[in-house]
Every structure is written in C-alpha cells, then in structure tokens.
Structure 1
Amino acid sequence: MKRIFFLYILLFSFYSFSQTINDSIKTNTLEEVVVTSKKIPKSKKILPNQVESINNKQIEFQNFQTTAEMLANSGSLFVQKSQQGGGSPSIRGLEASRVLLLVDGFRMNNLIFRAGHLQNVITVDENMIENVDIFYGPTSTLFGSDALGGTVNITTKKAKFSNETNNKFSGRINTRYGNVNEEKSASLDLNYATENFASLTIFSYNDFGDLKMGKRKNPHADFFGERSLYIETINGVDQLVENNNKYVQKFSGYTQYNALQKIAYKTNSGYKHGINLQFSTTSNIPRYDRLTDVTATGLKNAEWYYGPQQRILTAYTIEKEKILFNSDLSISVGFQNIKESRHNRRFENYNLQHREENVNMYSFSSDFNRKFKKGELFYGFESYFETLKSSAYIQNINTGVTNGLDSRYPNGDNNMFRNDIYISYNEKTNEKTAWTVGGRFGYTTLKSTIADDTYFPLPFSEIQQGNFTYSGSLGIVHNTSKNVALKTNVSSGFRVPNIDDFGKIFESGGGFIIVPNENLAPEKTITGDVGIVVQSKNKRFKFENTYFYTRLYDMIVIDNFEYQGQNVINYNGSNSQVLANQNKGKAYITGISTNMKGYIIEDLQFNVSFNYTYGRIVEDQSESPLDHISPYFGKIGLRYDKKWGQFEGYILYNGKKSSKDYFSNGEDNIQYAPEGGMPAWETYNFKTSFNITKRATLFVGIENILDTQYRNFASGINAPGRNIYGGLKYSF
C-alpha cells in the first residue's frame, strides 16, 4: 500500500507541475477518444462507463510482436500466458469466457471458450488492426453473453475509397526483427480505391523462435524458472537432455500466417455493401508450462502442444442511412470456423494422444441507430448458431498404430443457439448532464449428446438447457464545471454456460481431474461504477479515476466433487482428485483504475496508469480468494512526439501475488509460481521511430532494458528478457 500512496503523490505532482507549465502553451492537446462500436455514441466524453482505446498510431509505434503483447503492454488490462503463442486478457479480475472478444462486431467467444486461459486473441494480427476499444465492467446490455468483466472490441482496417486516400493504388510493407526470440515478421497491405469501389488486401507472417528469459536477478525475488532440462526423442526413445543455455525456454517457438481481404461498394442509391474475409493459422504451439512439469524422475511430459489454431471469418454487411423510422441500418451475416487441437504424451510413453475440435458459428445481426435533437437511440437483433464436433484418437509414434480415446467434449451432437434483442438510449439533456439507459433480452438453448461413453462412462447421455437471459444498464455523466465531470453507472451482466462448462473432461495438472456436471445455471453480475474526470482548460492534461464494485451470483467455479461416489479416480494412469464446475453462490470483486496523461512541456507527454483489484468468494459467512485476480499493475511513461519521429520511455510494473491470495483449485496456477507466490516486478523500456524518407519509417527499441528475470501472475512461462528490435515500414 505504500507504493500505491507514493504513486498517487507522484500523479498529483505531475498534475501540479504540468498545470504550471501548460498555462502558457496553447498548441498540442490530448486526443479525444473516439469509440468505434456501432452500438454506442462515438464520443467517450458522454459515456458513463469506463472505456479505453488504443488507436492505429499507437499500435504502429509500439511495434509489439502480437496482439496479446500489445494489450499486455498498454497498462489497461492484465494478460496471462501459458506459452509464448498465447495471451489471455483479464479485465477487472475476470478472464477467458467471462471477457467478450469481438472482431469487427462479430463474437470470437464460442461454445468451447473455457474459464481457464485462452490464446484466441493472437489470431487477430496486430498489423491488421485499426483500433481496439476496451470496455470495463458488465457490457452484456450492449454486446450479449460473456461480457462480465468487460469487452475487447477489435476493429480491423477498412478498405478506403478514393475520397479517403490520395492514390488509386496504395499500400505499405512492414518488416521487423527481434533478438529475444529471433523474431522475423513481415506484412503487406494493398488498397485499391475508386469513387464507389474499394479493396484492401493484407498478408502477414510471423516466425518466433524459442523465447529467452531475463538473465538478471529480479530485485524482488530469487532466480526462478530456468530451463535446465528438456526431453528429446532420439531414434524413437525419450531422453532427458541438459539445456546448454538454461535461459532459453526450449520448445516455445512457433509460426503464424494471417490474411485479410475486404471489399466495399457504394451504390448510387446510398447503400454500402461490404465483404470481410479473414484467415489465421499457426504451426504447432508448444504448451510450455506442461513441458516443464516435474516428477521424481525428471519431467512429466515428453510432448504437449496445441495443433494449428485456425480461424476463418466470412462476412457480408449492408448499410443504409435513414431507411427505417429515420434510422441508420446495418445488417451483417457471418460464418466463422475455428479449429483447435491438443496433443500430449507422457515421458517414455510412446502413445501420443490427439484431441481435435471443430467449431462452426453462423450469425445474423441487424443494428439500427436513430439520432434525435438531444439523444441517440440504438436497437437491434442478434442471432448466433454454433456447432461443435469433438473427436480423439491415440497413435504410437514408433509403430503408427492408432486406437480410440476419450474426446475432450461429448462426441455426439453439440450446439448452442442464441437470440437477443437490445435497446440503448443516450441523451445529452443539457450542457452539463448526459444519461444512458439500456436493456437486452434473449433466449439461449444448448444441446449436447454423448454418442459413445466407452472410455469414460457418465450417468447421463444428453444435456439440454434453455435459458432466458436479460441485462440492463443506467448511467449518468454530470459536468460540475468545464473541467470536472462525475460519472456513475449501474449495469448487470450474464454468461450462459457453454459446452466447455458442462461437458469437458480435463486433467488440470497437479493431480486433479475435472469431470462434467449437468446442473449448472447462468452466471450473473451487478456492478456499480463511480468515476471522476479532471481536465485542464487547455486540454493538455487529463486525470481519470474509477472505483467499481461487482457482485457475482451463481458464479461457476471449480471445486471438490464426487464421480460415481468417489472423490479420487484413476485417469490416464494416475490417481486424480475429482473436481467439477459448480455454481458456488456469491462472490464480489472491487477495485480502482487510475489514468493520468498530459504535457509537461511542448511535445513531451507523460502517461500513468494504475489498476488494483480485490476479489473474494462468499460462502457460509466466510470469505476465500477468487481466482483470476491479478496483483496491482500499471504503466508510467514519457513520450516525445515530432513530425519527424517519436521517442518513448516507460516502466511496466506488477505487484506481488501472495500465495495466501491464490485460489488453489482454480486457474491461478500456483504450481508455476515460486514458494510464497508470484513476486513483484518492473521493466524499463525505450522505443523510437524516425521518418528516414517521406515514405520510409524506421522503428528501433529495447524492451526490458535491464534483462530482468520475471514471470506474470498465473503464467507458466517466463517473460521475455532484453529484446532489441528493429523494424522498417515503407508506404507507397
């Protein structure tokens, strides 16, 4: 808490100093945040809930390797990693299936999104992103199920017409190299523009080698996580091999391929048609944390990797202004296909297990927007139909002989069908006050059948559920003066249990097995936000602080369970304690989020962020830790910006996560933390860009300058050590 107090003193010291300097400066002002979602007003100033945005200019300059790294280094949210090829965003202590991911308005969350940790966000390459909006707190009223902790809304680049670009043909080439994992990345953009027709094509490629961790001792901890041994299969025999460089995290590298094609066409009658095609796939991605699990004789797993993670999006959109009741209309029809797989075998066991999932998502949405003299009305309908095919087999790596295996999910018919209507109204009553009210109502069905239970008999062969869902929100923004605004917002959220909640059989590590539980109800939350925004008269300084309190009901958590009357069973050759997803009554999460930015002197801007979260399960008048609650974290930075280039130096920091605050049966992964919990850490970073010609820009930077060795809370892989990178962008 002393650090928290010191940070607030630092914040207000910056405020006082910048106010004194800025009184005489009238040039550069802070950018106004513009939100890209079609379901809310564009200006952040009249929104009662907390929203942060990362624009294309910031994304391009920061030059991170993946979208997960970009989010993690923003200081706006927390990201967990189990392997290099991953990144699971956490907002206000909720993660994975309780945070909604959207790309161009389409849900990425599907019927197998798990409550643990996810890596789906990396399938949207950062070279294709125009803007990211981060909505904090329940946003189910706007976006539907799963938006309990918040929503990450990703908007990809659009095809530009001739009135939006100077050339009929335009584009750019981006290249980048980083030494911490011998990264080699490249992307190509091509835009074709006429008055009524536009086409955008993007290809990108990323090659990441094994990740090097920091070599220097973390001031807050001892050395931790070195890779001293690994397993190689030589002439068909597993062998323990000594790592000749313990700071290289062997078998963490992977490659990724991405493509985007957008076509836009405007008719003379005012209709705008759009086609959106996206494709992403990877090589096999080693599950690094599982490859480091130890036993009395060495390492537990000889192989553990995710197969190529493939995402396909095909969408058609039609838009028209002033078409129905004087409302603007946007209709979207989409199809997504997601393929995932898991492959693993134990040391000296030559039978490789393969579990494969194939998800199809069909969607339809109609969104309307009508402007009034003082307000704006948003309303519409959404429908998603999702199917899953889950299969598995086992194959001997030496003989090639295959046999059957229990699948991760039920191996029969699996589907979910969501149908929602929503309405939201925002009004600026006068110059001082604006308010927002909204509601969403829907019905979701789920069906899952077990065609063959030979490998893991269950007391039921089918699960069916139908759930009526609803949420609402009410918020007010009141400007007490031209420089101070007060915000308050009350909102509810919901998440309907999916196939992963109901039907998964999963070995969680550490001697635990998770079995299906058919008696699950939807999760629900209610959140209250109170915020203050202070902005200087010359718009060169801004301070924003938000306090929130979330009450969670019927939350699904993993806890002790019995399977056929037994609390310990033999699974995959080991005795494992039985766990299951269960609605465990009530819990709460509370915390604060502080952001401050402004100009100290002309062209020199500072930014500071601080986030603190506290969560507990309430049961039988006692409290216990809730999982996914990150330690406090944030960012402190200085940026110097001129037309010819930019410089930025910043500190990323995390507090300590004590072992007493871990949820032992959940996804906090205490087995991958040192004794006592995950230590605090901070890194020092420097980045710059230069316009070397009118068309060419050079990017150079050093991340983790001190080469500090550390690991993020709940992660199973050490963070990158010192990374010296260089990149070149050429526009044409």
Structure 2
Amino acid sequence: MKFIHSLLLLFFGLWFVDLSGQSLRIIDAITGYPVQDVIAYDTQAKVNTTSDINGHIDLSVFSPEDQVHFEHIGYESLLFRISELQSSTQLALYPDTQRLGEIVLSVSRTRDEKKRVSKQVAILSDRDIASVVPNTSAELLREAPGVRVQQSQGGGGSPVIRGFEANRILLVVDGVRMNNAIYRSGHLHNAISIDPFSLSRAEVIYGPSSVGYGSDALGGVVHYFTKEPRPGDAQPWRFFIANNYDTRHEHTINHIDITHSKDNWASLTSMSYSFFGDIYMGRKRNHGYTDWGLVPEFSKNNRDFYQDQDSANPNPNRQRNTGYDQIDLMQKFVFQPNPENKWVLNLQYSSSSDIPRFDKLVERRDGELRYATWFYGPQKRLLISPKYSFTSDKKWLREGVITLAYQQLEESRVQRKFGSLLRENQIEDLDVFSANADFNVALDQSKKLAYGFEFTHNELQSIGFSQNLVVEGNDVVDLVNYMLIPSRYPSKSGFYTTMAAYIDYKLNLDQKNTINAGVRITNTRLKAAWNEQALIDARLGKTTNRSNALNLSLGYVFRPNDLWELRSVLASGFRAPNIDDMGKIREKQGKLTVPNPFLKPEYAYTADFGVSRYFDQRTSFVQLNLFYTLLYNYIARQPYMLPFDDSSSSFETVTHLGDELETWANTNVGEATLRGASLQWNTKVNKNLTYGGHVNYTYGITREDQIPVPSILPWQGTQHISISNRRLNGQLSFVFAGQKLPEDYSNGGEDGLEETPVIGVSSETGENEYAGTPSWNRFDFRLTYNVNTNTKVGADLHNLFDVHYKEFASGISAPGRSLRLRLQYRF
C-alpha cells in the first residue's frame, strides 16, 4: 500500500505540471523564491537586461536566435538560445555552492567570510540537503568531511567529530543549544528530533568552540538552521510536497510545508510524518564471518503483547524490532515592519513512537535472549523560541540578535526480561530555559568586534518504578504492584545552570592577513538530590558542583594570493560535568554505572593547522587539516567501589534489580591526547563532471595508562563522481572505513567490542574473544531528474553490492541494498 501511495502521489504531482506560459520568471531551484538582479546578456555583451524584485525578466530585447547568458553572483551561470525558452514560464538557477560556501554563519555567531575564518568549517547548503534528501538530520551529517554517525537501533544517529561524541559535541538549532543536563557521554541520538525537510543549512565547526558556545564544544559544533519565510514575497502562497519510499525497508516519509507572505509578515508551516520499517542487513559477507549480526530469534513482545518465549526469525537478515515512526512539526512567524527590525517566533515539536533498543533485544545471557522488551518510550521535544534582530546607528549595538527559548523534553526507558512479569520504567522530564544576546560593534572595515551573553537553566524530574503485568493469553490487560526502583538520574531534584559572556575580535591586517581572537568566561552550577528509596550509594543524599571556566582562542589566516589559504588556531574548550556525568545509574553488559559526585570539569587544548589550494577560479580545491588536542581532567568510565554497599560480598559489585553487577563510574583519569589529519578535495573536470572526496585519520590515548580513548575510528573516507546538467543530476559514491583492532577499543564499553565478531573463547578467563570491527566499503548511486522547475523525481540505490558490515561502535548492522524513490513538487 505504501508503494501504491507513493506512485499515486508521483502521478498526482506530474498531472499538475504546467509547462505553458509567455513570460519568464527566474527562481531559486531549491527554495522556489524569485531571484532578483540576475543579468541576462548576449554573447557579444551588447544587449543586457536584469530581473526585478519578483524575478521577472524582459527578454524582448533579444532576438529568437540570440544565445543569452544568465548570471548572478550567488548562482551557477546558464546559457540558452532565446528560442529554447519561448515555451517556458520559469527558469530555475541552482545556487553556486562554492560561492555560498564563502559565508559562515556559526563560528562567531554572526556572518563571516569563510576566507577570514581560521577554524575548519563544513557547510551543508540547501542544495546539498535537497540533493541528499536524508532520512534524518543525523544522516545528513555524513555528508560533512570526517563526521561519522553511530547507531545502536533504527531510531539512532550519534555524530562523532575528531573522536569526540555525544556530550563532547554541541548541537545547536537556530541559535539555541540542544545540549542539556542529561546529554550522555556514550551515544546520543537527539539529532534525529530535527526534521531534515525543515532545514535550510547546516554547519559543522571542527575543534574546540567554547568561546562562542560554552560547555560541551570540545570536538566541535553542529549548527542546524531551519527555513525562514520572507515577508513581501510576490507569490503570497507557496506549497512544497515531498514523498520518499524505500522499497526494501518500507521506509516512507511524507512532508508538506506551506508558506504565506504579506507585506511585513510571513508564516511557514512544516509537517513531516516518517515511518521506518525493519532494517535488512547486507548479504554479501566480504569480511568472512558467516553468522555475524544475523538475527535467528527475536522477541514479539511490546507494550500490549506478551509472549513468554522468543520466536524464530524466518529471515535472519531482517533485523526485527528496528522500526519506528515519528512526527515533526514546525511553525514560524516572521514580522518585519522595517529593514531595521525583525521578530521571529519559532515553534518546533517532535515526537516518536516507542523505539526498540535493538542491541539490547539481541543481547544474550547463558545463550538465551535476555530481554523480552527494551525500548525507548516516545521521545518528545518541544521548542518555543522568540527572536529579535535589529540594526541601529549606535556604535556598541550596530547589529544584534536576542534569542529566548524554552525546551520541554521527555525521555523514557522501559525493559522486561524473559521469564519475568516485572516491567521496569525510567522516565525523565526536563525543562530548559535559555537566553542569548549577540551584538556587533561598529568599527572600520578592517575590524570586527562581536560580544554576547548566555544564560541557561535546566530543571530535571527523574523517576524509576516497576509494575507487574497482568496477562490474559497474549494480551497485557493491566499493570499492578507499582513500586519505586532506582531512577536513572537523581530522583528528588536536579538543577543545572550556566551563565557566560564572550568577546570575539577579527582584524584584517591587510588583504592577505587576518587575526581572530576570542575569550569567554562561564560559570556552571549543578544541584542534585536523591530520595531515600532510590539511593544506590549510601553516601549520597544530595550533591552540588560549581565551576568557572576561562576559554581563549587565537587564530591566524594567511592568503598569499587568491589560490592559497593557510589557517592556524590555538583554542581551549571545556565541559562541565552535567547530571548525566555525575548522577546516572545505568546497566550495560553486566556493568552498572553509578553516580560519582566528585567529578571535575574536563578541558581541551587544541592546535589546528590547515592549508587550502584552489584551482580554476576556485571551482576546484585540495585542503589539508591537522590537529592535536590535549585533554586535561579527562572524564572516562572506570571501575568504581561502593565501600558501604552490603548487597553483595564485594565492594566492586552491587546487586541491582536482582543481578550482581560490576560497579563503574565516570571519573577524572588525568590526561589524554588526540591527534588527526583530514584531506579533502574537489575537482571540476568540466562543466558537468565533478570528482571529490575526503579521507580522515584519528588517534587517541590516555597519557598515563596508555588506554585507548573511546569513539575513535582510525581511518574513514569517501569518494564521489557527480554529473549534472539542467535536467539530470547523478552521483556515484564510494564510502569506506578502516579496521578497528580489539586492543584499540576503550575499556569503558562505549565502543561496543561485544558487537564485533566472536573468534573464540579465552582459555584463561573463559570469556569470548572478539575480532574488532572489520574494514568495509560500499557503493551508492543517486539520480535526480528535474521534470520542470516545479517537479523533481529521483531514485537512490544504496549499498549497490549488498555488503554486510557494521559501522564502528554501532549495535546494528548497516542497511543492505535498497532502492529509494523520491518525489518533490512545489507550486
């Protein structure tokens, strides 16, 4: 039915295609908005005309046989004979990604020329997003050089930058930080709560960015920018419809957004519904492990269905319990009474179904599946954010943006073991309040000074409880015997507050030399308390933590000519322990993470160097980046003793929910170093053919004990060949990753060594021995056809040779070969 639905939508879109018309209107091929100031001129440059504010252009000045160039500084140029356009009503120009890439929005929280920014930055433009059409905003980040995305279940996507992951990476949407008091240090999947169809742009900043963004920005920043409607648009109503359908995995994504524009205000309504079926792994096992990742049995249990034994899986390549669905809504209002003042109200809401935790549902104890159910309850995110932007003639307030935000988040974890009727629940409700004020100072053209302030406050409510199932046949008809159990986080209360101020200064010494400098001071306060019945450590009743951090950044950019750029940065970053670091209770693979109230902030000191060489009027380039990071007071998971616990015979174990488990905790383990290199290139072979790619190397280890740092994959990269013309765009990609040996895995379990192939049993310990993650590669092919300026159809063939592999640290096999069909229609 989903496939038929997709075909009907496709034909519905094509039916209403209008190819007639007498006048020509020039529009942006991605957004559909009119493009002003497009210059049209003949090959002798004797006759020319320009598009007006509504994109209309008068071609009557040319004869039918004239060849005419259409050019705009932000778009790719086109050449047509006038007779070829006589039956057209619109002409779509694609943004020039190279030129658009010259503007950076996120580094200093204001607009900057990329050639004057010392940090490494990747920009994913609206054209990149429209070309890739990712299933989630986490998947989109795979298009940024050097960014890896980890998954433990179908509804997953944890970005990794330079070996940093989770709460060492800062996620930001529309200037509002998403990181909060319970962002964890293992794998974090909150990026999927942002609708990729709502995005206009995404930027990735590599390396410490605490001057502009504060705590957590150790490895980098991912800043998502959502679409914004324009007041005064000549077309008062705009509609955009998109539908994606994966024929093998039965993924279906339906999206519509509606824009309404008046003279001084505008509205954008965006809605997406995504249904993701079970994931089928690849069948070609080049790595040689015939049974690795197969799912011979699975659990049919869910909230309402009970079965006391597992079920045989008729197709072991189908990873049962990986499907889920999600709804994403966004509403934006823009009010702009004059060019100097603009108000924006940004409303976003995301809610998923239950998301099965696949890696837990295939976990075995004594050869049998351990869990009948293990799922994340509906994950909900609400954002309400008013923003005011202005320009003035006051020196210290020449430009400014004030952003207020309220976020309400709900998370839950539900589990039940086979052989038990006891269902355990952990529920977290979090309220986050924030205020950002960013200002620019009026200086001369060679200088730029920005400053700002930030305040955030988190209030957490966490509860854990168990209930017994009442079962009739296979139906769960009731839940009884409510009883409190240890909650995931402090059960009585949790508060996390930050206050900060920063200054960022740029000085253009001349056309060749630019200096960037910045400083930020941040104060962080944490308070948490436990109820007596939820304590797991007799020493804990409440805890407080206060810290101050001073961060500095100094960068230099040297441009000897238009073809060379050299960049260097010395920067510091910090991460203040949050409630997840200090107060979490969590079990994984027989290890129980317990609270540690004695944690201190960790700091990163990084040296960065980059060099870029451009060719053919900057349409081609080669870029090399090197970095070295020293982590001080590095926080890692280590064995931890509970001296006053008497639930077991050893201080190194504790009896928790009926199981005797090793106790571990996040601790400050001293210093660690990370270093790496990335090489990126893009070559425009001719007008229609492009070859590009990147390769990355990362290495990290603690200084004292020489223990590997988690989340680091040594080698990864991609290469692609793209071909495009006015109608057709195609890309063949080759994606690869190197081997990760078992001795290079971290000790804390974050890397998931147990998810790799079993190669034997140790004669000394009797425990399994693992191979580590095998190297892998795959080919993808993507094709898009522009039916006309309003309609696009596409097909993506993922994993052409149906290769089986697991991404490093992922608890789920990657998707095998699949065909995805796409339709986009705007009017």
Q: TM-score, normalised by structure 2?
A: 0.83
- Helix, strand or coil for the counterpart of 1:252? coil
Distance 1:636 1:269 in 2: 44
1:167 aligns with 2:235: yes
Distance 1:504 1:725 in 2: 40
Q: Which amino acid aligns with 1:429?
A: L
Q: Please point out which of 198, 207, 212 is paired with 1:128.
A: 198
The equivalent residue for 1:506 is 586
The equivalent residue for 2:52 is none
Q: Please point out which of 776, 797, 817 is paired with 1:681.
A: 776
Q: Please point out which of 90, 99, 118 is paired with 2:160.
A: 90
Q: Please point out which of 462, 465, 469 is paired with 1:390.
A: 462
Matches within 5 A, 1:305-704: 305-322=375-392, 324-325=394-395, 326-372=397-443, 373-398=445-470, 400-401=479-480, 402-454=482-534, 456-507=536-587, 509-564=588-643, 566-619=651-704, 622-674=705-757, 675-704=770-799
Counterparts in 2 of 1:685 and 1:454: CA distance versus 1, 3 Å:
closer
Identity, in percent, stands at 32
Distance 1:286 1:29 in 2: 39
- Say whether the 8 Å CA contact 1:551–1:588 is kept in structure 2: yes
Q: How far off its partner does 1:645 sit?
A: 2.5
CA RMSD of aligned residues (A): 1.8
Q: Please point out which of 305, 330, 340 is paired with 1:260.
A: 330
Provide Cα deviations, 1:424-483, integer angstroms capped at 9, x if missing partner.
011221111111000000211110011233552431211111111111100001013331
- Say whether the 8 Å CA contact 2:150–2:810 is kept in structure 1: yes
Provide Cα deviations, 1:492-539, integer angstroms capped at 9, x if missing partner.
0001101111111111x2211111111111010000001111001422
Q: How far off its partner does 1:366 sit?
A: 0.9
Unaligned ranges ≥5, structure 2? 1-75, 79-95, 471-477, 645-650, 758-769
1:198 aligns with 2:231: no
Q: How far off its partner does 1:579 sit?
A: 0.7
- Helix, strand or coil for the counterpart of 1:181? coil
Counterparts in 2 of 1:363 and 1:77: CA distance versus 1, 3 Å:
same
Distance 2:537 2:598 in 1: 17
Distance 1:29 1:151 in 2: 21
1:189 aligns with 2:257: yes
Q: How far off its partner does 1:671 sit?
A: 0.9
- Say whether the 8 Å CA contact 1:231–1:238 is kept in structure 2: no
Moved more, 322-331 or 640-649: 322-331
Distance 1:287 1:235 in 2: 17
Q: Which amino acid aligns with 1:514?
A: T
Distance 1:74 1:720 in 2: 20
Distance 2:631 2:138 in 1: 27
- Say whether the 8 Å CA contact 2:487–2:534 is kept in structure 1: no
Distance 1:266 1:30 in 2: 30
- Say whether the 8 Å CA contact 1:180–1:720 is kept in structure 2: no
Provide Cα deviations, 1:322-357, integer angstroms capped at 9, x if missing partner.
254252011111100010000011111111111000
Q: Please point out which of 786, 796, 800 is paired with 1:705.
A: 800
- Helix, strand or coil for the counterpart of 1:626? coil
- Say whether the 8 Å CA contact 2:530–2:541 is kept in structure 1: yes
Provide Cα deviations, 1:188-207, integer angstroms capped at 9, x if missing partner.
01111122111111000000
Distance 1:443 1:366 in 2: 17
Matches within 5 A, 1:287-298: 287-298=357-368
Q: Which amino acid aligns with 2:446?
A: K
- Helix, strand or coil for the counterpart of 2:491? coil
Provide Cα deviations, 1:219-275, integer angstroms capped at 9, x if missing partner.
575552011111235984411211000010001100000000000111248321110
Provide Cα deviations, 1:612-664, integer angstroms capped at 9, x if missing partner.
10000111xx4121111123111100111222131111111111111010012
- Helix, strand or coil for the counterpart of 1:623? coil
Distance 1:200 1:416 in 2: 33
- Helix, strand or coil for the counterpart of 1:397? strand
- Say whether the 8 Å CA contact 2:485–2:533 is kept in structure 1: no
Distance 2:308 2:234 in 1: 60
Distance 1:52 1:376 in 2: 22
Distance 1:394 1:429 in 2: 65
- Give the number of aligned pairs: 703
Counterparts in 2 of 1:278 and 1:599: CA distance versus 1, 3 Å:
same
Moved more, 688-697 or 244-253: 688-697
- The structure having more radius of gyration, on CA atoms, is 2
The equivalent residue for 1:6 is none
Counterparts in 2 of 1:635 and 1:223: CA distance versus 1, 3 Å:
farther
Q: How far off its partner does 1:40 sit?
A: 4.2
Distance 1:597 1:505 in 2: 47
Unaligned ranges ≥5, structure 1? 1-24
Query: Which structure would you say has the larger RCO, counting Cα contacts within 8 Å and 6 or more residues apart?
Result: 1
- Say whether the 8 Å CA contact 1:482–1:537 is kept in structure 2: no
